[in-house]
């Protein structure tokens, strides 16, 4: 079996928000790294990977509260917004100009043993260099 290619996008940064079924908006989560894994070259298929393990042992109570809430309700995630120029430009250059397709899956790593949750997504590049990830 072929090992998937990894395309790094950005290191430690924060999510603008993560929305849980219109009920709760989590604004205090950060990610350790964000990258693409290419599952198939032609037609291009990729998974956007967000590593949330940096939230595991944070001294910040607000981050800890949001992370605990996410862990308890991760099946209810509806969207994530990332406002970051580098993330926006990296996804734009890889997705639109080079490949012509968007990532179709999101994998969120949440545990130190590489525990993860995977979602089908629709990714949108928005004004003011924002990336909206909608869970389908």
| SS3 sequence of 98-117 | HHCCCCCEEEEECCCCCCEE
Q: Which domain holds residue 79?
A: 5-135
Rounded Cα gap, residues 122 and 112, in angstroms: 27
Number of domains comprising the chain = 1
| Per-residue tens of pLDDT for the chain, all 136 residues | 455 688 899 999 999 999 998 789 999 999 999 999 888 877 778 899 999 999 998 999 999 999 999 999 999 999 999 999 999 998 888 776 666 778 899 999 998 887 999 999 999 989 999 999 999 9
Q: Tell how strand 17-20 and strand 45-51 pair up.
A: unpaired
Contact between residue 26 and residue 50 where contact means Cβ atoms under 8 Å apart: no
């Amino acid at each position: 079996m072929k090992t998937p290619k990894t395309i790094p996008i950005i290191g430690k940064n924060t999510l603008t928000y993560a929305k849980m079924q219109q009920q709760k908006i989590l604004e205090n989560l950060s990610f350790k790294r964000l990258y693409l894994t290419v599952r198939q070259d032609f037609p291009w298929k990729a998974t956007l990977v967000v590593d949330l393990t940096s939230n595991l042992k944070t001294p910040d109570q607000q981050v800890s509260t949001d992370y605990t809430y996410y862990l308890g309700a991760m099946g209810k995630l509806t969207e994530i917004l990332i406002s970051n120029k580098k993330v926006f430009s990296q996804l734009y250059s890889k997705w639109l100009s080079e490949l012509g397709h968007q990532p179709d899956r999101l994998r969120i790593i949440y545990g130190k043993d590489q525990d993860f949750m995977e979602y089908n997504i629709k990714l949108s590049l928005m004004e003011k260099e924002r990336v909206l990830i909608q869970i389908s």
